[in-house]
């Protein structure tokens, strides 16, 4: 009965995050689910507290990125970027779509998929608005590339560090393992997404918009994002946590910009979507509750058997199953669960790689699949836009399955 209750609470909390009944924020349902499993005695409070602590690096990373994003927004960096994107598109919504996708790939690879959601999405919305274009296809491009390119490098997704933990492969081995699957995922996602949005990418958009010079604060924000990219690359190469350097960049740039403009810290702090942090904490507690009732064992047993007898087939099957499950439990905590299961099963690197591709690419099915997509939702809501979860699911059902299948096949074919 305990396991049934935990699964029920996790399912209801996930449904609350997806549909937001009573228009409450997403974190309210994640926290409610976490509080319920503790209050009902389904998870000891000490274990819940430890689960919250496991996300410390993620909290620092997100806080740093959100500070950088908010300062960049207030200092006009996004509007400045938008004017150049519109000029480069030369009146073609299809060219603008391809540009957004390409830039999204670069941001995801070198700054992480969460940065694409937090930093790039507002700039893309500004560009679409300035060009008088339908923003939805371009916003979709941000969301889908954020997951499709998220296993090119270890730093491309915080979930990568969660899945491999202390056994992270050297960068050369990582590239050898994931280069072909990443290329397949990025290309196929673009092809299918572009086809699905063909009706919305017809006609012409504005070719030029009024350009304002970039302020000193905007230049500092851009430099801060560049410094964050370098710091993340160095941290990944040396095996260090990503949270502290990202938070340091965010805090340092924010303090410098505010000091030069003689503005109070509250002018930035009040505008940051801090609710993302309790959302992540609540999800970690829910997954800890699932692990507490045997979810790790349920995953580890078939992994161990399959890894011994048919590692390639197991890698593909594990990726498909986990890819589907991410849309129920969210990929970041599920990545943690998968990591525990892989360690318990003594799974070889190939099987772990299959799990990671499922964790990273599977979330392209629904809005709750990844933390990046949830951050994307928060970002577009701040801009006054809205995306229906079923509209996302309709596109995701076309885009995700073929990309996931081909990426996994590319993995085992290497």
Q: How far apart are the C-alpha atoms of 25 and 279, rounded to whole Å?
A: 9
Considering only 30-34, 235-239, 291-295, 404-408, which range has the smallest mean pLDDT? 235-239
Tokens of 183: 């290329």
**Per-residue model confidence as pLDDT tens digits over 86-132:** 888 888 999 999 999 998 898 888 878 888 888 889 888 988 888 88
Which domain does 37 fall in, by range?
2-413
**Burial zone of 24 (CB within 10 Å; 0-12 exposed, 13-18 middle, 19+ buried):** exposed
Q: What is the pLDDT of residues 314-359, one digit of tens each?
A: 999 999 999 998 887 778 777 878 888 888 888 888 999 999 999 9
Measured distance CA(101)–CA(106) in Å, rounded:
9
State residue 351's pLDDT score.
Answer: 92
How many beta carbons lie within 10 A of that of residue 170, not counting itself?
11
Residues in the chain: 414
Q: At 247, list the tokens.
A: 């938070």
Residue 98 near residue 136, CB atoms below 8 Å: no
- Residue 82 reports pLDDT greater than 80: no
Give me the percent of the chain exceeding a pLDDT of 70. Answer: 98
pLDDT of res. 107: 86
Residues of the chain with pLDDT > 90, as a percent, come to 37
Mean pLDDT calculated for residue range 393-414: 95
Higher pLDDT, 85 or 67: 67
Q: How far, in Å, are 104, 126, 130, 182, 385 from residue 86 at the CA level?
A: 16, 10, 8, 28, 20
Q: Is 170 helix (H, G, I), strand (E, B) or coil?
A: coil
Question: What is the distance in angstroms between the CA of the first residue and the CA of the last residue of the chain?
Answer: 44
- Cα–Cα distances (Å) from 114 to 61, 206, 226, 303, 361, in that order, read 9, 29, 15, 29, 14
Cα angle for residues 107, 182, 401 (degrees, 5° grid)? 105
Residue with tokens 């096949």: 409
Q: What is the pLDDT of residue 398?
A: 97
Helix 77-89 × helix 216-238 angle, to 10° = 90
The pLDDT assigned to 335 comes to: 82
**Residue pair 69/119 in contact by the 8 Å Cβ criterion:** yes
**Tell me: the pLDDT tens digits for 188-240?**
999 999 999 999 999 888 877 767 788 888 898 889 888 888 887 787 777 77
pLDDT digits (tens, 9 = 90+) for 141-171: 999 999 999 999 888 887 887 787 667 787 7
| Long-range residue pairs from 75-78, CB within 8 A, at least 24 positions apart, any chain | 75/215, 75/217, 75/218, 75/220, 75/221, 75/257, 76/212, 76/214, 76/215, 76/217, 76/218, 77/123, 77/214, 77/218, 77/221, 77/222, 78/122, 78/123, 78/126
Encode 81-117 in three state secondary structure: HHHHHHHHHCCCHHHHHHHHHHHHHHHHHHHCHHHHH
Q: What's the structural domain count of the chain?
A: 1
Alpha-carbon distance values, 169 to 77, 235, 336, 345, 407 (Å): 36, 14, 17, 18, 19
The pLDDT of 303-307, averaged and rounded, is 85
Backbone angles phi, psi at 305, to 5 degrees: -65, -45
Summarize pLDDT for 234-282 with one digit per residue, the tens: 877 777 777 898 899 999 999 999 998 889 999 999 888 888 889 889 9
Rounded distance, CA 358 to CA 376, Å? 20
Question: What is d(CA 107, CA 223) in angstroms, rounded to the nearest whole number?
Answer: 14
Q: What is the pLDDT of residue 1?
A: 64
Higher pLDDT, 61 or 196: 196
**Rounded Cα gap, residues 286 and 39, in angstroms:** 13
Residue from 357, 320, 322, 351 nearest 178 by CA = 357
Are 383 and 125 in contact by the 8 Å Cβ rule? The answer is: yes
């Amino acid at each position: 009965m305990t396991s049934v209750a935990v699964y029920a609470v996790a399912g209801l909390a996930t449904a609350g995050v997806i549909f937001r009944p009573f228009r409450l924020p997403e974190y309210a349902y994640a926290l409610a689910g976490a509080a319920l499993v503790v209050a009902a005695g389904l998870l000891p409070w000490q274990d819940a507290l430890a689960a919250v602590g496991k996300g410390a690096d993620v909290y620092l990373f997100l806080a740093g990125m959100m500070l950088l994003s908010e300062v960049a927004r207030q200092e006009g960096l996004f509007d400045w970027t938008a004017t150049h994107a519109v000029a480069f598109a030369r009146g073609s919504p299809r060219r603008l779509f391809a540009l957004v996708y390409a830039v999204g790939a670069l941001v995801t690879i070198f700054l992480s998929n969460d940065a694409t959601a937090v930093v790039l999405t507002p700039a893309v919305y500004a560009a679409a608005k300035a060009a008088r274009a339908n923003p939805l296809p371009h916003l979709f491009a941000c969301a889908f590339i954020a997951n499709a390119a998220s296993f090119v490098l270890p730093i491309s997704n915080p979930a990568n560090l969660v899945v491999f933990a202390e056994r992270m492969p050297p960068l050369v081995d990582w590239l050898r393992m994931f280069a072909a699957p990443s290329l397949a995922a990025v290309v196929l996602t673009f092809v299918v997404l572009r086809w699905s949005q063909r009706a919305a990418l017809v006609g012409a958009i504005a070719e030029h918009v009024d350009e304002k010079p970039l302020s000193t604060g905007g230049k500092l924000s851009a430099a801060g994002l560049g410094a964050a990219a370098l710091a993340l690359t160095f941290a990944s190469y040396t095996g260090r946590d990503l949270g502290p350097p990202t938070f340091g960049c965010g805090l340092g740039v924010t303090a410098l910009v505010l000091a030069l403009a003689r503005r109070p810290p509250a002018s930035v702090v009040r505008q940051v979507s801090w609710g993302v942090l309790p959302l992540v904490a609540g999800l970690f507690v829910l997954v800890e509750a699932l692990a507490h009732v045997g979810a790790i064992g349920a995953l580890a047993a078939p992994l161990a058997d399959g890894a011994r007898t048919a590692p390639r087939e197991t890698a593909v099957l594990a990726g498909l199953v986990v890819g589907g499950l991410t849309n129920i439990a969210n990929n970041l905590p599920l990545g943690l669960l998968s990591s525990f299961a892989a360690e318990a099963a003594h799974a070889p690197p190939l099987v772990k790689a299959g799990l990671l591709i499922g964790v990273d690419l599977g979330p392209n099915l629904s809005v709750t699949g990844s933390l990046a997509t949830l951050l994307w939702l928060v970002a577009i809501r701040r801009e006054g836009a809205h995306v229906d979860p079923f509209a996302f699911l309709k596109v995701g059902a076309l885009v995700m399955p073929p990309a996931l299948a081909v990426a996994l096949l590319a993995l085992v074919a290497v």
